[in-house]
Amino acid sequence: MSQNSKDTLTIKGIDTPVLRIALGTWAIGGWMWGGPDDDNAIKTIHKAIDNGINLIDTAPVYGFGHSEEVVGKALQGKRDKIVIATKVALNWSDDKEKVFRDARPARIRKEIEDSLTRLKTDYIDLYQIHWPDDKTPVEESAIELEKLRKEGKIKAIGVSNFSVQQMEAIRQYTKLSAIQPPYNLFEREIEADVLPYAEKHDLAVLCYGPLCRGLLSGKMTKDRVFNGDDLRKSDPKFSSPAFDHYLAATEELKTFAKDTHNKSLLALAVRWVLDKYQGNIPLWGARKPEQIEGIRDALGWSLSANDLNTINDILNKHIKKPISPEFMAPPNR
């Protein structure tokens, strides 16, 4: 991974330098986000590209193929300028009620062909194992991914939600270019081991949830209600009394961002992720064009050591027991 400027980088195995903010498309798939809105989704992707974003992250499980289909449609005529990251190794029941981990070679082989079709492309830039599958030997999964790379169907290999030990295991059989963990001001577990490991081995870190599912957007209020299949209904951060503590922290962070840098809380939250490690790429999740507003506000400046200390003080003041994102993990096969 080489740096071209503070806000761009080149991921190992991929020639095209990417802006260090990528578009995350989980919400575009509709599942767990209140259903799809394809017209707005395509406009959102185009607006992201117009704002300089050239890395788009998706996955088959986002809407059970729907997110990939929308991305593929939106990138017609633009494919050669965009770095596509998608994932593999989650399976689901026919009724789509159960999602489970499945990194068997046969599953990987089926998924790559399905993803290429949905994305309307003949190669994927970054192909990531979505969650570790404890029931499939890592060697089998890695060898299949290596085959795909040699066939030209993928350029680089990544993993998502892997521990250091799991990354070490897969690196015995294949070159690893990236890791995708949850990371934001409120969910910092990776600082203990995953982030130092990534820095040591020159891995790009695609950070999902940089706004902590809207908590750090600056728009979350105490009376917000989550309906239907909304993921936040099962996130303990969004239930009292924890919700009150997190909201109190966001209010003080919002004031700090405005008074110190004349920036929004959203810009502060994304800049914080960018400044924690030069290989970090926050995934900006959006499903409406107006949600792309503010991307540029996170670029072209940085937080000082004093800023980072002040932010830590605010977090420690309001959040005595940080809640991890473990609730999102799908079961094993």
Active-site amino acid positions: 62
User: What are the residues whose beta carbons fall under 8 Å from the beta carbon of 252, sequence distance 6 or more?
Assistant: 314, 317, 318
Taking CA atoms, 167 is separated from 1, 94, 132, in Å, by: 17, 31, 10
E runs forming strands in the chain? 2-5, 8-10, 18-19, 22-24, 55-57, 83-88, 90-92, 99-101, 124-129, 154-160, 178-180, 204-207, 280-285
Residue 307 structure tokens = 């800023």
Residue 182 contacts residue 322 (beta carbons within 8 Å): no
Whether the ω angle into residue 241 lies within 30 degrees of 0, i.e. cis, is yes
- Cα separation, 9 vs 3, in Å, equals 4
Torsion over CA: 214, 219, 223, 228 (sign): negative
Residue 75 contacts residue 48 (beta carbons within 8 Å): no
Using CB atoms within 10 Å of the CB of residue 95, give its burial: 0 to 12 exposed, 13 to 18 middle, 19+ buried: exposed
Note the Cα 129 to chain centre separation in Å.
Answer: 13
- Cα separation, 272 vs 274, in Å, equals 5
Q: Of 280, 194, 299, 285, which is closest to residue 11 (Cα–Cα)?
A: 280
SS3 275: helix
255-258 contacts, C-beta under 8 A, 24 or more apart: 256/310, 256/311, 256/314
* DSSP code of residue 331: P
